[in-house]
Amino acid sequence: MPVFSIQVYWLTISYCYRMQMAIRRISESQLRPWAESRTSLHREIFSSLEMEHIRRQAAQLWDALPERRPSNVRFGLRGSLDDEWILDRIDPLADVSPFFRDLAMDRRLTSIAQECLGGDVILMKEKLIFKPPGAPGYGAHRDGAYFCDAGPGEHEMLTVALALDRASEENGALKLYPESRRKQLASPPGEARDIAESALISEAVFQPELEPGDAVFFDCSVPHNSAPNRSDQARRGYFITYALAKYHSARSRFYDRYFRELAAMRRNGPDKEPCFVIDAKGRKQVIDPDKRLAWHDCVSDAGPGEWRSVSSAD
């Protein structure tokens, strides 16, 4: 082998080694208690039988919802790895799906949320992320940067990510950085609410592999991100955010702003058609780009609404 090639070879090996060393993974057993890390992992909250039913309900809801088009801000619109626009989530869904509303209020979830937050909670927001094959990852951010305007402080809300499908590194499982939650981390240009990916490169990452029915809880100060789904199956997760019950109008305050912001972005943004959706059977369909909807047309009559609080007496 010529000397030059040997040098390149060693440089490559040592670079890869350094990058490997730079990624510090926190294992499940190393995860600190909630008070310290504001992150907590719970296995098998729901049984496999229950999860089968929940997955079926998710598939039916996705295929049944009308108005599934990019101008409907209820659906998350994202650029796929193939450079196409896809709809990858429903946010919110409690007003159109009694099943998912009841699931978000299930005592097995709310009791953990109450214990973590130290008081009664309300359902502040929820979304069903489908993350079909080829869907991009989510950029690094703290939920607090997006949610705090609704009232609660970042330690007065938490998000639970309930796995509907197995979540792994390959299909873009959630990555959390609990040890970095108090750090000032640089933002990327143009979005002060996000965190530059480069700021997290040497931070300790907690990326639990989740089985359906497992859930990870984290408060709104914990930085997180995820990679694209590079597998050939969807990686669905139900992300539910609870807030302390004293912020009883946090839900409507949050969604009011969220819908307005998204509607403005989609109205003024570049032409996003054609747009595709992957149906529950994995088939790709083009979405008909007909009339645009105003944000208030996108939610049912009940609207995202305000929700009764869940008290320990429930």
Burial 130-162 (b: 16+ CB within 10 A, else e): bbbbbbbbbebbbbbbbbbebbbebbbbbbbbb
Token duo for residue 299: 């939610």
Among 129, 148, 176, 220, the residue binding ligand AKG under the rule CB under 6 A is 129
Q: How far is 215 from 43, CA to CA, in rounded Å? A: 6
| Minimum CB distance to ligand AKG, residue 89 (Å) | 8
Residue 97 or 225 with smaller CB distance to ligand AKG: 225
Residue facing ligand AKG at closest CB distance: 226
| Minimum CB distance to ligand AKG, residue 288 (Å) | 27
What does 69-136 look like in DSSP terms, one character per residue? STT-TTEEEEE-TTS-EEEEEES--TTT-HHHHHHHT-HHHHHHHHHHHTS-EEEEEEEEE---TT--
Residue 304 or 309 with smaller CB distance to ligand AKG: 304
Distances (CA, A) of 197 to 16, 18, 122, 177: 18, 18, 32, 12
| Minimum CB distance to ligand AKG, residue 177 (Å) | 12
Residue 218 or 309 with smaller CB distance to ligand AKG: 218
Half-sphere exposure of 268 (CA within 13 A, CB side): 6
Q: How far is 287 from 68, CA to CA, in rounded Å? A: 8
Residue 167 or 309 with smaller CB distance to ligand AKG: 167
Among 181, 224, 251, 253, the residue binding ligand AKG under the rule CB under 6 A is 224
Under the criterion CB under 6 A, does residue 226 sit at the interface with ligand AKG? yes
Among 239, 248, 280, 306, the residue binding ligand AKG under the rule CB under 6 A is 239
Under the criterion CB under 6 A, does residue 131 sit at the interface with ligand AKG? yes
Subset of 157-196 contacting ligand AKG (CB under 6 A)? 172, 174
Q: Which residues bind ligand AKG (CB under 6 A)?
A: 129, 131, 138, 172, 174, 224, 226, 237, 239
